[in-house]
């Protein structure tokens, strides 16, 4: 572990919850430094502490602490803040040679351990732990109290990266992500069960047959599991597939498709057995662009699953109540499905004013409220009502507070000043949210800026910097 502790763990510290209108900005922590800094995931615990995971190249300045890479290209990290926003500890995975790198994409917090997952090009080292020499997907754990590394593994079969983590009621850890196969055109998604000590791993890679992109004639390589959640005896996974993952029934309409599935805790090796019994799989629509980016299990007693993502054209064909059509626009969506059979409970397209601008990246729930994080350009509609009309001023980040029926309670939108340098990858400046977590005290969001003129709550965010933002629930 890098000796970076800047304070003591403050689980007993009493901090006043933020006050103000719902979805108003309550706190903003900047993560800066030379190079690029990205916060990929955020989690909260019952003591008011906030945990973030991500990656940086060259150097990072976070919570008054600064760290530079000695060698390597990119490093994963995890950090903890107390309820007052003071950094408690920071731990990074250090590249061990010039070609090594790592990215942390997933985060979950247990009673005594913090877990992160991602991918690495080995060798990578978390303190005194054995060097991760295998590369590919990894999961690592750290002590909640001081961030000391406790275990790490790359024993995840054919997995190439971990994109999401979840904890079961008995402390069992579940990972979701990407897999590769011997066929260079065939990919799959990962669902794995891991013991809390990471010393026992049951990885399952469900391969999806290659299909050809109708736009360019090339094989589609977009199979992934981007989200996972556990509730009782069920594991819910979501992402994108290119063909059947169990049996012969075609579940993909276009070249690729978003999916949501329920499986059991045991994760049998046979894919048909995995989807037998109470298990189910629901697919999103009709376009090779369709994908599910996030999911959350409601905490209102229903056990329903809320999923968010991006769709084009038809939405949930054959699923009464959720069938919809975006008229060939790429459109963000939020949908509530029954945990029992995947049936439709509620659905809304979050339409934007341009053809390829609307998308929802993450979702969190707390005490019946549903919080969704996404992006739009121009206008944004919720339940058919326009809640924002900002013209052609870059890609804006949005946070929505929705009730159980997906009706809007409140919202927040990032700022964008015209002029200045644009984001090279997007052709315009933008703010992009990656992860969200919610409690009774705060809604925590991690995001970054690309290009000039980006801000939040009137505070500027510099190009390539990341932020941890707190909003009033």
Instruction: Give the residue-averaged pLDDT of 276-286.
Output: 85
**pLDDT value of position 6:** 36
Give Cα 71 distance to the centre of its chain.
28
Amino acid 18: pLDDT = 84
Rounded-to-integer distance, Cα 82 and Cα 438, Å: 15
Measuring CA to CA, which residue among 386, 199, 364 is closest to residue 293?
Answer: 364
| 44 in any annotated domain | no
Token readout for 210 is 């290659």
CA–CA separation, 26 and 389 (whole Å): 24
The highest-confidence range among 2-16, 348-362, 440-454, by mean pLDDT, is 440-454
Which pair of structure tokens corresponds to residue 419?
């002029």
Per residue in 162-219, pLDDT (tens digit) is 999 999 988 999 999 999 887 777 778 999 999 999 999 999 998 877 777 777 777 7
What value does the mean pLDDT take over residues 131-136?
A: 85
Which pLDDT does position 427 carry in this prediction? 65
Tell me: the pLDDT tens digits for 296-346?
999 999 999 999 999 887 888 889 999 888 877 788 999 999 999 999 999
* Closest residue by Cα to residue 368 from 296, 295, 261, 435: 296
Q: Residue 260: what pLDDT?
A: 94
Q: Does residue 470 belong to any structural domain of this protein?
A: yes
Predicted confidence at residue 197, as pLDDT, reads: 96
125-134, 275-284, 414-423: range with lowest mean pLDDT: 414-423
pLDDT of residue 286: 66
Residue 280 has which token pair? 């189910």
Please tell me the distance from the alpha carbon of residue 346 to that of residue 125, in angstroms, as a whole number: 45
In a domain, 105, yes or no: no
Tell me the pLDDT tens digit for each residue of 144-166: 999 999 999 999 999 999 999 99
Domain that holds residue 406: 352-473
Q: Of 161-165, 408-412, 460-464, which range is least confident?
A: 460-464
Distance from C-alpha of 265 to C-alpha of 398, rounded to nearest angstrom: 34
Sign of the dihedral through C-alpha 369, 372, 377, 381: negative
Q: What percent of the chain has pLDDT over 90?
A: 59
- pLDDT computed for residue 230 by the predictor: 97
pLDDT of 417 reads 86
Q: Work out the pLDDT band at 3, boundaries 50, 70, 90.
A: very low
* Number of domain units in the chain: 1
Does residue 123 have a cis peptide bond before it, meaning omega lies within 30 degrees of 0? yes
332 near 352, Cβ under 8 Å? yes
Mean pLDDT of the chain: 88
Confirm whether 84 is domain-assigned.
no
Residue 436 inside a domain? The answer is yes
420 belongs to a structural domain = yes
Specify whether the CB–CB gap between 44 and 52 falls below 8 A.
no
Report the distance separating Cα 397 and Cα 412, nearest Å. Answer: 8
Number of other residues whose CB lies within 10 A of the CB of residue 384: 8
- Establish if 119 belongs to a structural domain: no
pLDDT in tens, 89-130: 999 999 998 889 999 999 999 999 999 999 999 889 998 888
For 351-378, what is the mean pLDDT?
Answer: 87
Query: Which strands form 50-56's sheet, in the order they lie side by side?
Result: 37-44, 50-56, 75-81, 87-92
Q: Which tens digit of pLDDT belongs to each residue from 224-255?
A: 899 999 999 999 999 988 776 655 444 454 55
Backbone angles phi, psi at 206, to 5 degrees: -95, 105
Domain assignment present for residue 468? The answer is yes
- In angstroms, the Cα distances linking 456 to 23, 97, 100, 194, 436 are 12, 38, 34, 38, 16
CA–CA separation, 118 and 325 (whole Å): 34
């Amino acid at each position: 572990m890098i000796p970076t502790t800047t304070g003591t763990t403050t689980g007993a510290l009493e901090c006043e919850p933020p006050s103000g209108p719902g979805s108003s900005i309550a706190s903003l922590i900047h993560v800066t430094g030379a190079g690029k800094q990205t916060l990929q995931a955020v989690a909260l615990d019952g003591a008011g502490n906030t945990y973030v995971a991500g990656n940086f190249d060259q150097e990072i300045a976070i919570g008054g602490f600064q760290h530079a890479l000695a060698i390597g290209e990119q490093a994963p990290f995890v950090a903890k803040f107390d309820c007052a926003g003071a950094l408690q500890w920071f731990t990074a995975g250090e590249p061990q040679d010039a070609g090594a790198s790592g990215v942390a994409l997933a985060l979950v917090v247990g009673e005594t351990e913090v877990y992160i997952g991602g991918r690495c090009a080995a060798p990578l080292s978390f303190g005194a732990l054995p060097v991760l020499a295998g590369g590919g997907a990894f999961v690592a754990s750290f002590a909640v109290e001081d961030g000391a590394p406790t275990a790490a593994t790359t024993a995840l079969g054919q997995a190439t990266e971990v994109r999401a983590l979840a904890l079961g009621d008995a402390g069992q850890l579940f990972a979701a992500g990407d897999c590769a196969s011997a066929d260079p055109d065939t990919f799959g998604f990962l669902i794995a069960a891991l013991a809390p000590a990471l010393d026992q791993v049951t990885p399952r890679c469900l391969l999806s047959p290659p299909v050809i992109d109708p736009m360019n004639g090339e094989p589609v390589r977009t199979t992934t599991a981007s989200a996972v959640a556990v509730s009782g005896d069920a594991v819910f996974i979501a992402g994108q597939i290119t063909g059947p993952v169990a049996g012969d029934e075609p579940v993909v309409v276009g070249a690729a498709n978003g999916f949501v599935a329920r499986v059991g805790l045991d994760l049998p090796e046979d894919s048909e057995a995995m989807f037998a019994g109470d298990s189910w799989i629901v697919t999103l629509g009709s376009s090779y662009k369709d994908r599910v980016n996030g999911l959350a299990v409601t905490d209102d007693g229903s056990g329903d699953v809320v999923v968010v993502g991006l769709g084009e054209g038809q939405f949930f064909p054959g699923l009464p109540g959720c069938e919809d059509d975006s008229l060939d626009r790429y459109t963000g969506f939020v949908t509530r499905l029954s945990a029992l059979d995947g049936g439709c409970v509620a659905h809304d397209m979050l339409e934007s004013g341009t053809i390829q601008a609307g998308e929802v990246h993450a979702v969190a729930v707390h005490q019946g409220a549903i919080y969704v994080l996404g992006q739009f350009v121009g206008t944004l509609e919720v339940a058919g009502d326009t809640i924002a009309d900002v013209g052609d001023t870059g890609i804006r980040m949005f946070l929505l507070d929705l009730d159980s029926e997906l009706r809007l309670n409140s919202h927040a939108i990032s700022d964008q000043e015209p002029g200045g340098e644009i984001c090279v990858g997007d052709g315009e400046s933008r703010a992009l949210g990656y992860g969200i977590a919610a409690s009774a005290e705060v809604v925590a969001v991690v995001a970054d800026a690309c290009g000039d003129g980006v801000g939040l709550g009137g505070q500027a965010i510099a190009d390539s910097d990341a932020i941890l933002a707190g909003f009033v629930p």
